[in-house]
Structure 1
Amino acid sequence: MTQQKTIPGYTYGTGEAARSPVTLDELARLKESVLLGPADEAALHQAGTVLADQVEDVLDVWYGFVLAHPFLVAYFSTPDGQLIDDYQRRVRARFGQWILDTCNRPYDQAWLDYAEEIGLRHTAAKKNATDDAPSVPLINLRYLIAFIVPITVTIRPFLARKGHGPDEVEAMYQAWFKAVTLQAALWSRPYIAGDAW
């Protein structure tokens, strides 16, 4: 399963998505850097099958974490601190699709381009533009990087719910961790000026 429904602002594979300046060769080197290989790709596909009917449950955990931390809620709020429910719902729908994309999409040019789009949507260049949201102008890079941990450590129980053995669960978990780290590295690119990235 690749896409569950029409999702507002989801522009994967369209001309509306940014074009990544990262080359496929650079992506290959990043994949090597996070130890993401063919066995991990197979484990991710398996994880996609396992997670397909659990996406909303996963999002409940992740958004429970965000909503429990006012400094994270601020990124879905107006500058004076009012949560923008519609904005949060629209981003949540795309976040759910991201779970499926992480597991099921080939990591090709379209995937690389959409990773660039996601990164841009966290920066002042594009945050709020997709949803015309009156929110704060950017998500600080430090939280983009730090969020690798909660969206990784919380996934294991969901991967273990379909009766797979410990070794299979561990393989899916490790593949997920590598894929999330890879994407966080790509999402950081729009934050970094010049050749420093």
Structure 2
Amino acid sequence: MRKLIRVVCCCFIVLSPFVSAGKDAIPGYTYGKKSIMTAPYTLDDLEKLKATVLFTEDDAKWLRKSRKVLEPQAEKILDTWYGFVGSTPHLLAYFSDAKGKPDSRYLGRVRQRFIQWIYDTADANYDQNWLNYQYEIGVRHHRKGKNKTDNARAIKHIHGRYVVALTYPVTATLRPFLENSDYSAKEIDAMQQAWIKSVLIQSILWTEPYFKKGDF
């Protein structure tokens, strides 16, 4: 795992420097806005999905505890995740134009929302606004909405298999950052398991646009 961390940290930082911003200043961040679409799945659907992946209130507690650990390290976490994407050509292609040139503006705007996504995930606030924003994120991965928010020049559709597959590298590479705390190994395990479950739930919700009506 530490070898993976070293590999992903070195490849991509130069493409997209992060500029800190408040929520209202984050480009394309529409969480809680009236303009956002209502999710086609319900809070009851969410509860059933949570039960299916064994997500409990204890997991929500550990997510919230993780925020104080991860927030000061958020930029380094994004360096790691972006490093992984940057060192993986078939993933970087989704942020690149038809000639294979990465869209640095697009990457920079997505990075700011990705930072905020860490906080939103750790807050574990599963209300209707959260649910609606998951659908919005899903649409932005799909040809229905890809590139539109950022007026990007990148490939117009992310294949659905990678939306779910990224659950592992995102949550696995989080471990060293969680360990950078005073929590015990058992408590860190609880935080990481909570993150795995939450990211899996989110990645599943993001795939809704990829299904025919009634199949999701």
Q: Which category of TM-score, normalised to the shorter sequence, fits these structures? A: over 0.9
> What is the aligned residue count?
195
How many angstroms apart in 2 are the aligned matches of 1:26 and 1:38?
A: 17
One-letter code aligned to 1:158: F
**In the alignment, what sits opposite 2:47?**
28
One-letter code aligned to 1:151: V
TM-score by length of 1: 0.96
Tell me which of 172, 176, 185 is aligned to 1:166.
185
Task: Report if the CA contact (8 A) 1:115-1:187 is conserved.
Answer: yes
Unaligned runs of 5+ in 1: none
Q: CA deviation digits over 1:87-140, x for unaligned, max 9?
A: 001001101110110011411100000000000000001110000011111111
Task: Note the C-alpha offset of 1:15.
Answer: 1.8
TM-score by length of 2: 0.88
How many angstroms apart in 2 are the aligned matches of 1:140 and 1:16?
A: 26
Task: Note the C-alpha offset of 1:85.
Answer: 0.4
**In the alignment, what sits opposite 1:107?**
126
**In the alignment, what sits opposite 2:215?**
196
* 1:41 counterpart SS class: helix
Task: Report if the CA contact (8 A) 2:60-2:124 is conserved.
Answer: no
Deviation larger for 4-13 or 151-160:
4-13
How many angstroms apart in 1 are the aligned matches of 2:21 and 2:104?
A: 22
Is 1:123 equivalent to 2:138 in the alignment? no
How many angstroms apart in 2 are the aligned matches of 1:91 and 1:33?
A: 30
**In the alignment, what sits opposite 1:154?**
173
How many angstroms apart in 1 are the aligned matches of 2:193 and 2:77?
A: 17
Runs of 4+ in structure 1 off by over 6 angstroms are none
Task: Note the C-alpha offset of 1:79.
Answer: 1.5
* 2:39 counterpart SS class: coil
**In the alignment, what sits opposite 1:181?**
200
Task: Note the C-alpha offset of 1:4.
Answer: 5.6
Task: Note the C-alpha offset of 1:18.
Answer: 2.1
How many angstroms apart in 2 are the aligned matches of 1:48 and 1:188?
A: 26
Task: Note the C-alpha offset of 1:162.
Answer: 1.2
* 2:82 counterpart SS class: helix
How many angstroms apart in 2 are the aligned matches of 1:54 and 1:4?
A: 15
What do you get for the CA RMSD once the two structures are aligned?
Answer: 1.1
* 1:53 counterpart SS class: helix
Task: Report if the CA contact (8 A) 2:63-2:124 is conserved.
Answer: no
Task: Report if the CA contact (8 A) 1:31-1:37 is conserved.
Answer: yes
* 1:194 counterpart SS class: coil
**In the alignment, what sits opposite 2:13?**
none
